[in-house]
């Protein structure tokens, strides 16, 4: 298992590049990795967005950890008021208090959330021997609710989307209270990434490898690979672990129930017993819009308003993108060009935050309101 203790060129996880292909991510939070193997697991959660993105921070999630045989080795219980701010990071140290304090690798990790929605950009996990990272881009590709993020890693060279965790699903598009992953499969060896890029099912249709769950509570149990996967050495770098010997064996052989609260096979009665009330924070939310009073304006490459408007799993805020020159009204999921140059009708005027209809932006009287819809945003976030 020595292959699992080594990362190359500072790569612990993978993100998407500008053409939508997974690539190794050269970023490590070194202070959140123990100097030697210990009977603890350090879990670092990095929230998405920038300092002005509303509601992207929230309660710190509960965490459960298992070894490769499905034996639970430790848990972190969130306390009342246990928060993580937006555009920040926090590390918790979880002792191996469920396996007699033995050193054991954190192979399976599950985060389960409370009602206070949090958008997560990155999760780093380490016990000093096995270290790995999951980025929001993986959840985005696998169908989890997401939004753009201003959070940058390693200067301007590495960015990722953030994915939402929220238990009460106060949005139609909130679809995950919990997320889980098999840590060794998040290590970005060339053969693993070649497999995931060749067919997304090897990542997203392999429930023990990566999944998100609508209701799974902190005491829930995730699926495990049984028997334990046997892996080849990587064909490019033999020091790293490559794909499992027969990749098709990791694909789901049946449909998992992603609505369970505790484990597969529980009854409908269990569903009803565990239903919870809606969050009080949902009063201002409309459709997929977290806060209709907030506007994001972005110049960050790759962040388009079109994707926010047209992607079925986006949840967040109205957005102006100077990248594709468009504005997305996320409540209505309606896309407009930005008013500029010859574009003077059926467009969005950034300066006045007004949707201009058939009435031209130019040549109209100062008090004309025909065909205009003023968007009275109370807060704005500028991303560069």
Shared-domain flag, residues 131 and 62: yes
Q: Which residues are paired to 329 by β-bridges?
A: 334
Interatomic CA distance for residues 141 and 271, integer angstroms = 28
Interatomic CA distance for residues 375 and 369, integer angstroms = 13
User: Are 142 and 209 spatial neighbours (Cβ–Cβ below 8 Å)?
Assistant: no
Shared-domain flag, residues 241 and 347: no
Q: Report CA torsion sign: 342, 346, 350, 355.
A: positive
Shared-domain flag, residues 113 and 220: yes
Shared-domain flag, residues 44 and 193: yes
Which structural domain, as residue segments, surrounds residue 231?
Answer: 2-273
| CATH code of the domain covering residue 269 | 2.60.60.20
Shared-domain flag, residues 265 and 186: yes
Shared-domain flag, residues 59 and 172: yes
Question: 83-103 pLDDT, tens per residue?
Answer: 776 667 899 999 999 999 999
Shared-domain flag, residues 119 and 212: yes
Shared-domain flag, residues 49 and 111: yes
Shared-domain flag, residues 195 and 112: yes
Shared-domain flag, residues 301 and 242: no
Decide if 278 is inside a domain: no
Shared-domain flag, residues 352 and 255: no
Phi (first) and psi of residue 122, to 5 degrees: -160, 145
Residue 368 has pLDDT above 50, yes or no: no
Question: 6-47 pLDDT, tens per residue?
Answer: 455 568 999 999 899 999 998 899 999 999 999 999 999 999
Decide if 280 is inside a domain: no
Q: Report pTM.
A: 0.89
Decide if 128 is inside a domain: yes
Last residue of a domain, one of 215, 249, 273: 273
Mean pLDDT in residue range 273-283: 50
Shared-domain flag, residues 109 and 241: yes
Interatomic CA distance for residues 261 and 267, integer angstroms = 10
Decide if 258 is inside a domain: yes
Q: How many Cβ atoms from other residues are within 10 Å of residue 155's Cβ?
A: 7
């Amino acid at each position: 298992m020595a292959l699992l203790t080594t990362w190359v060129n500072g790569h612990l996880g993978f993100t998407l590049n500008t053409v939508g292909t997974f690539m190794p991510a050269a970023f490590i939070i070194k202070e959140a990795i123990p100097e030697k193997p210990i009977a603890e697991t350090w879990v670092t959660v990095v929230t998405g967005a920038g300092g002005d993105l509303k509601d992207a921070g929230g309660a710190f999630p509960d965490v459960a950890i298992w070894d490769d045989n499905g034996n639970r080795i430790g848990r972190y219980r969130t306390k009342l008021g246990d928060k993580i701010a937006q555009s920040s990071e926090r590390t918790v140290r979880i002792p191996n208090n469920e396996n007699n304090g033995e050193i054991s690798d954190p192979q399976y990790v599950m985060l389960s959330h409370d009602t206070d929605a949090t958008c997560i950009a990155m999760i780093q996990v380490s016990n000093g021997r096995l270290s790995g990272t999951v980025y929001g881009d993986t959840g985005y590709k696998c169908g989890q609710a997401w939004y753009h993020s201003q959070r940058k890693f390693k200067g301007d060279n590495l960015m990722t989307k953030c994915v939402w965790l929220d238990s009460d699903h106060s949005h139609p598009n909130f679809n995950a209270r919990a997320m889980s992953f098999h840590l060794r499969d998040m290590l970005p060896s060339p053969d693993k990434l070649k497999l995931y890029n060749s067919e997304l099912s090897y990542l997203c249709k392999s429930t023990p490898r990566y999944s998100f769950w609508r209701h799974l509570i902190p005491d829930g149990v995730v699926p495990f690979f049984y028997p334990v996967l046997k892996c080849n050495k990587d064909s490019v770098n033999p020091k790293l672990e490559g794909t499992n010997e027969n990749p098709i064996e990791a694909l789901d052989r049946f449909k998992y129930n992603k609505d369970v609260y505790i484990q597969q096979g529980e009854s409908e009665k269990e569903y009803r017993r565990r239903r919870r009330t809606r969050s009080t924070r949902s009063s201002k939310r409309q459709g997929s819009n977290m806060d209709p009073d907030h506007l994001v304006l972005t110049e960050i490459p790759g962040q388009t308003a079109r994707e926010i408007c047209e992607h079925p799993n986006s949840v967040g805020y109205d957005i102006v993108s100077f990248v594709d020159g468009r504005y997305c009204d996320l409540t209505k999921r309606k896309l407009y060009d930005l008013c500029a140059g010859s574009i003077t009708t059926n467009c969005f005027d950034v300066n006045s935050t007004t949707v201009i209809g058939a009435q031209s932006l130019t040549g109209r009287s100062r008090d004309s309101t025909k065909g205009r819809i003023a968007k009275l945003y109370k807060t704005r976030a500028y991303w560069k």
